[in-house]
Structure 1
Amino acid sequence: MSTAMVLILVAAGSPTPLLPIYEREWGFAPWMLTLAFGVYAIALLVTILVIGSLSDHIGRRPLMIAALGGDLLAMLVFLFAPSVGWLIVARVIQGLATGAASSAVSAAVVELAPERHKKLGAQVAGMAPIAGLAIGALFAGLIAQFVADATFTVWLVLVLAMALGTVFTLFVPETSAPKPGAVASLVPRISVPGPVRGLFAATLAGTVATFLTMALFLGLVPIVLAAVFGLVSPIAGALAAFVTFGLGTLVSASAGAVPPHRLRLLGSVAMAVGAILFIGAIATEALALVWAAAVLGGAGMGASFTGTTRGLVPGVKPHERAGLFAAVYLVAYLSMGVSSIVAGLVVGPVSVRTMAAGFGVVTAIVALAGALSSAGHRRRSRQPHR
């Protein structure tokens, strides 16, 4: 199941180095690229909110098969897309499929793990999305760098992989018996239980900064590298995304002994410094600063979000977690989707350089607010490991 989720996120990360190729070949405006990333995040968010609990009622496997089938359809649309409009349609379908897979796979991975490895299963489920995005960007970037018909090759490989993944999932054992209430579960349930409301409020800015950083390196940096630095090579944007999300995965995997409040503080500070370095890169055209920003932004992203989830989850009862995560993802993906769309609207009247610098300024301010908020909550609560 975790392999299936990584596969879906590999597909989600693959457009990062490919969309600039479409831009050059088809001659559409840069804002269309940011729109493609924005609609993906919004579609993913809506799906999580509506069917996030559906697998509890119809089973994990049916929803996972539907998600893989939906992503297969998205890959086919990418493969035969005749215009940028169809690329956006594909991204919407991809967002729906990724959202459908998220809750079902996360639950199934934990349930399929032996009792002594439940914690490891939860950790794998948490790391798979970020790791998949990193691998997807690098995979597509390498093909785009060394294969002539890169877009066709990437989507053909992913069509075959999704088809095989769908067939394989037919034989994965079901881990959740069907139960009544499937229709009622489609009503979004967003809640922040009383015991964690203070902490949730304190983590809001850090969560927004995390997903602004994701939007920056997944959707905007390839455009910036081409427009500001003249780097049109697909591997450049792919490597920036790989470094960011790869370090995010590494930090998430290795920070088990670090208290959550410290992760949130250090993560927010790292993202703020990374955003400032990114602004400096735009101002001075120093490419090395982009890579430094990717390192700090990725590490901060992994630390901040890991600290947020590890801080919130122990404070709520099991039946309250779905509503809590719905609230977290509402903030997260709205930040990612809306910021990408706004960046696209701004880039027309101004320029890529100005838009990117402004995006960096906003990210730095929000990340600093996250650091201050996290430190303030720690002082007020005086509770260890929170």
Structure 2
Amino acid sequence: MAGAPRTVRPAARRPAASESIQPARGPRGFWVVAAVLGFSLTAASSPTPLYSVYAARWGFSAITLTVVFAVYAVALLGALLAFGTLSDAIGRKPVIVVALSLQVTSLVCFIVATDVGWLLAARLAQGAATGLASAGVSAALLDLQGAGRSGRGALMNALMSTGGLGAGALGSGALVEYAPHPQQLVYIVLLVTAVLLLAGVGLFVDETVTDRTRPRLWSGIAVPKQARPTFLAAVPCLAATLALGGLYLSLGPSLASDLSHSHNHLLGGGVPAMLCGTGALAIAALRSWSPRHCMIVGCVSLTAGPALTVAALSIQNAGLFYASTVIAGVGFGVGYLGAFRSLVSLATPEHRGALVSAIYVVAYTAFSLPVVVAGVIDTHIGLRDTATGFCAVLAVLAFTALIATLRTPATAKSAAPPQLPAGLNDLQSS
């Protein structure tokens, strides 16, 4: 391909040295990498049902919990900004291995934790691991999706992200409520899984970056010129989607406990799992839709769901709260899928890591910053009023995203994706 970066060449020796990505020799590499992404998000959400246990046993306040969340977010964003394109320089596998190793470190900290200091250390390592993995794993999914499987990388990115978040919250809630050693068992299970995935990456994943360059730090985010109109149109949808996820993973269990008058940890973990599970099902059902249609449906759902949540909180109705969660979950899934697909289809290989990193910086900023603010406000006005204000702002943001999507110029919506090397189809809308 003319114009492909000289820093990457196919592993198989072919006359066309400009071909930059080596296709996977089989499906195992793709699915192992997809499992790594799902695991990373499962591990990230697994502490959610345990926060109330930690608070009761160690006696910390909502402000402390906010600090714990902020540490995770800062570490994640710092890793993205510093190492967003590292996998383009040194290869996908080394970055994935380092990310999994950091996850192992964080899980060990969780297992041995006896106070808030250990919890902060665990979330710091976990945030760095998730940030490091995000861009590298997503780029590897695009590399390994294979000929004739256009769009599979973006689809699995959305499915594993939403499904992983839901699985972590639900599985952790069940183990905390019904299994012995509630503060350790979930992390022991995850630790074993991480070790197995490390072995799987080493044995089965094909490295697609075969010509290594000297890595440069703090060069990880950029939006190519041809993608900027679409990026600006997609940012409100992306922000609304991830802000909703942050709300449910942080305040969701407490809201469920407050409205249902139950302290069952499975119920608490079930609320974010309901949101993420609905999102995953919506992605699977609507995966053939165009990115634009996904974003429109996602924004409508993200407007209606939080609006109904406001109503549920005002009349203190648990049933309406669960119904609003399902409606919002549709938007959480397909809104993210549409935004991600619409953007990565516009990136050439030399811009792929930088653009994916830019997407994740926006996404995780929206995921974390509002929750930190909400945690501070919660200490002054209370949980229910804080969640009501959060949802009202979120509904307005989602409506703004809907207007932005509808008004996106046709040239930005339908820009033809660049041609990629033989053996690798570009991501584009189905």
TM-score by length of 2: 0.83
Distance 2:137 2:413 in 1: 36
Root mean square deviation, CA, Å: 2.4
Change (3 A) 1:165 1:258: closer
Distance 1:99 1:140 in 2: 22
- Asked if the contact 2:236/2:397 (under 8 Å) is kept, the reply is yes
**CA deviation digits over 1:218-256, x for unaligned, max 9?**
111112223454332111121111111112122223323
TM-score by length of 1: 0.91
Distance 1:180 1:164 in 2: 27
List aligned pairs for 1:215-234, cutoff 5 A.
Answer: 215-234=246-265
Shift of 1:170: 2.8
Picking from 353, 357, 363, the partner of 1:332 is 363
Give the corresponding residue for 2:335. 304
Shift of 1:378: 5.4
Shift of 1:175: 1.4
SS at match of 1:377: coil
In terms of mean alpha carbon deviation, does 335-344 or 153-162 score higher?
Answer: 153-162
List aligned pairs for 1:1-386, cutoff 5 A.
Answer: 1-117=33-149, 119-184=151-216, 186-377=217-408
In terms of mean alpha carbon deviation, does 125-134 or 171-180 score higher?
Answer: 171-180
Change (3 A) 1:276 1:181: same
Shift of 1:114: 4.3
Q: List, as ranges, runs of 4+ consecutive aligned residues in structure 1 with deviation greater than 4 Å.
A: 378-386
Give the corresponding residue for 2:30. none
SS at match of 1:315: coil
Shift of 1:257: 2.8
- Asked if the contact 1:56/1:178 (under 8 Å) is kept, the reply is no
Distance 1:271 1:282 in 2: 17
Equivalent position amino acid for 2:213 in 1: G
Equivalent position amino acid for 1:38 in 2: A
- Asked if the contact 1:34/1:220 (under 8 Å) is kept, the reply is no
SS at match of 2:183: helix
- Asked if the contact 1:270/1:299 (under 8 Å) is kept, the reply is yes
**CA deviation digits over 1:239-282, x for unaligned, max 9?**
11111111212222332332222221221111111111111121
Shift of 1:34: 3.5
Shift of 1:110: 4.1
Change (3 A) 1:62 1:14: same
Equivalent position amino acid for 1:220 in 2: L
- Asked if the contact 1:47/1:96 (under 8 Å) is kept, the reply is yes
SS at match of 2:306: helix
Equivalent position amino acid for 1:167 in 2: A
Distance 1:14 1:121 in 2: 25
- Equivalenced residue count is 385
Change (3 A) 1:343 1:9: same
Shift of 1:381: 6.8
- Identity percentage of aligned residues: 30
Distance 2:210 2:411 in 1: 44
Distance 1:301 1:209 in 2: 8
Larger relative helix fraction: 1
In terms of mean alpha carbon deviation, does 48-57 or 309-318 score higher?
Answer: 309-318
Distance 2:276 2:413 in 1: 32
Shift of 1:117: 3.7
Distance 1:382 1:205 in 2: 15
Q: Which runs of no fewer than 5 residues in structure 2 stay unpaired?
A: 1-32, 416-428
Shift of 1:346: 0.8
- Greater Rg, structure 1 or structure 2? 2
Equivalent position amino acid for 2:352 in 1: R
Q: Which runs of no fewer than 5 residues in structure 1 stay unpaired?
A: none
**CA deviation digits over 1:182-235, x for unaligned, max 9?**
332x22343223333222222222111111101011111112223454332111
Distance 1:190 1:168 in 2: 29
Equivalent position amino acid for 2:74 in 1: I
SS at match of 2:203: coil
